DNA sequence: ATAAATGCATACCAAAAAGGTGTACAATGA
DNA sequence: TCATTGTACACCTTTTTGGTATGCATTTAT
């Protein structure tokens, strides 16, 4: 159903929260802020930590801290940290295998999906955590002018 | 995982096949061409028929026929015939309810997702069955120049 | 040292969605 | 009138999603 997962959605929200805090925050507080259970927050935070988006600190007064500048951290990175590389079709999973069509050049849909995938990728990349947190920014400014991939 | 369903993928392929045939084709032949079981093809074809994309004919020598001009039938319509309206986030499902955030204007992600959704919609709309079938068209021509939604 | 506070790793589970099948029926046309 | 086709709908199985449980490892305050 071409849909972002709840987990990735939470991940973006969590990054926004951490960007606003600018300090180490415990998982329980993050979970409360993001309206998600602590267990689930921990699972998400571990994935973000694994990709170098957040740093984790153990022990008393430990927690997580955003490891990146809010304006350099984009939504694509966060989504891919949770869901893996963005591929809108099985067709794009492996370079040498199209759905029911082994010859890549014979599968026009492969090219079509590849193009849509690029467009989606580019646009997620343009939305940064900084922009999401900036309440003064207008909807149209979120992705900026569309780049033509040509 | 932000992915087109296999069913929608088949649906597009089936429309491409029907566009090339230009005649009434039985479900069994369609299924064979699309490399899918007949039962599943029938399910897909019924959805396409329900949306007026194909017409169905019962009885001996019955089958399905594309009810639209290949150049006017775009991939968005086919996907939506199968999966329903394109909504990349739960956030967009109902106008008055954002995930864990009842006040729409407080949910920046709502706006971000809305914008991404529009971009995706526009681009799927630009890919027609005619273009997919036209072997002389280049990858870059598939969606044409990107429109800025501004 | 040691206890409390925290994160880590892994396995597990339930619900939902995706992908697909079975059965019985209805319409058509040769 | 019967073979051929589609229709309707309920059902099933597998995969993905969303989330939990358990036990362990690390850190810091005291």
CATH code: domain of residue B118: 1.10.10.10
Question: Which residue gives the smallest C-alpha to C1' distance to D25?
Answer: A58
| B70 CB-near residues (< 8 Å, 6+ apart) | B19, B128, B129, B130, B133
By three-state DSSP, how is residue B98 classified? strand
Query: Binning pLDDT at 50, 70 and 90, where does residue A149 land?
Result: very low
Quickly list H helices, A22-107. 27-34, 38-50, 75-83
| B140 CB-near residues (< 8 Å, 6+ apart) | A115, A149, A150
Nucleotides on chain C within 7 angstroms of protein Cβ: 4-11, 17-22, 26-30
Residues of chain B contacting residue A91, judged by C-beta atoms under 8 Å apart? 9
A114 part of a folded domain: yes
Among A85, A69, A89, A67, smallest CA distance to A77 is for: A85
- Strand A63-66 relative to strand B63-66, pairing: unpaired
B11 part of a folded domain: yes
pLDDT for residue A74: 98
- The per-residue pLDDT of chain A, averaged, comes to 88
B142 part of a folded domain: no
B145 part of a folded domain: no
Quick check: A31 CB within 7 A of strand C? no
**Is the separation of the CB atoms in B28 and B38 below 8 Å?**
yes
- Strand A63-66 relative to strand B54-57, pairing: unpaired
Task: Kindly determine whether residue B89 and residue A12, on different chains, have CB atoms separated by under 8 Å.
Answer: no
pLDDT digits (tens, 9 = 90+) for A114-143: 999 999 999 999 999 999 999 788 877 788
* Other Cβ atoms closer than 10 A to B101: 16
pLDDT for residue B20: 95
A83 part of a folded domain: yes
pLDDT digits (tens, 9 = 90+) for A40-84: 999 999 999 999 999 999 999 999 999 999 999 999 999 999 999
pLDDT exceeds 60 at position A104: no
Domain of residue A73 covers 6-136
**Is the separation of the CB atoms in B83 and B120 below 8 Å?**
no
Domains held by chain A: number: 1
What residues of chain B score a pLDDT lower than 70? 94-106, 144-150
pLDDT for residue A95: 54
Task: Kindly determine whether residue B83 and residue A111, on different chains, have CB atoms separated by under 8 Å.
Answer: no
| B83 CB-near residues (< 8 Å, 6+ apart) | A1, A2, B5, B7, B8
Looking at the complex, report in whole angstroms how far the Cα of residue B56 sits from the nearest Cα belonging to chain A. Answer: 25
Nucleotides on chain D within 7 angstroms of protein Cβ: 3-10, 16-21, 25-29
pLDDT exceeds 80 at position A113: yes
pLDDT for residue B146: 47
Q: Both tokens of residue B35?
A: 């490399």
Q: Could you give the dihedral angle defined by the CA atoms of residues A81, B79, B9 and B98, in that order, rounded to the nearest 10 degrees?
A: 20
The torsion angles phi and psi of B84, rounded to 5 degrees, stand at 80, 180
The residue with greater pLDDT, A146 or A106, is: A106
**Residues 84-113/A with CB < 7 A to strand C:** none
Q: Considering the entire predicted model, what is its pTM? A: 0.91
B149 part of a folded domain: no
Looking at the complex, report in whole angstroms how far the Cα of residue A41 sits from the nearest Cα belonging to chain B. Answer: 14
B71 part of a folded domain: yes
> What is the spatial distance between Cα A70 and Cα A50, in angstroms, rounded to a whole number?
18
């Amino acid at each position: 159903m071409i849909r972002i997962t709840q987990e990735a959605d939470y991940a973006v929200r969590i990054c926004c929260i951490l960007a606003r805090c600018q300090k180490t925050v415990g998982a329980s507080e993050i979970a409360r802020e993001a309206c998600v259970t602590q267990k689930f927050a921990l699972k998400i935070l571990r994935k973000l930590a694994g990709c170098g988006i957040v740093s984790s600190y153990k022990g008393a007064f430990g927690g997580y801290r955003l490891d990146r500048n809010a304006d350099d951290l984009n939504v694509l990175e966060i989504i891919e940290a949770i869901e893996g590389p963005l591929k809108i079709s099985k067709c794009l999973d492996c370079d040498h295998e199209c759905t029911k069509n082994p010859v890549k050049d014979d599968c026009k849909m492969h090219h079509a999906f590849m193009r849509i995938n690029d467009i989606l990728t580019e646009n997620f990349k343009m939305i940064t955590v900084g922009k999401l947190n900036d309440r003064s920014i207008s909807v149209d400014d979120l992705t900026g002018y569309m780049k033509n991939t040509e």
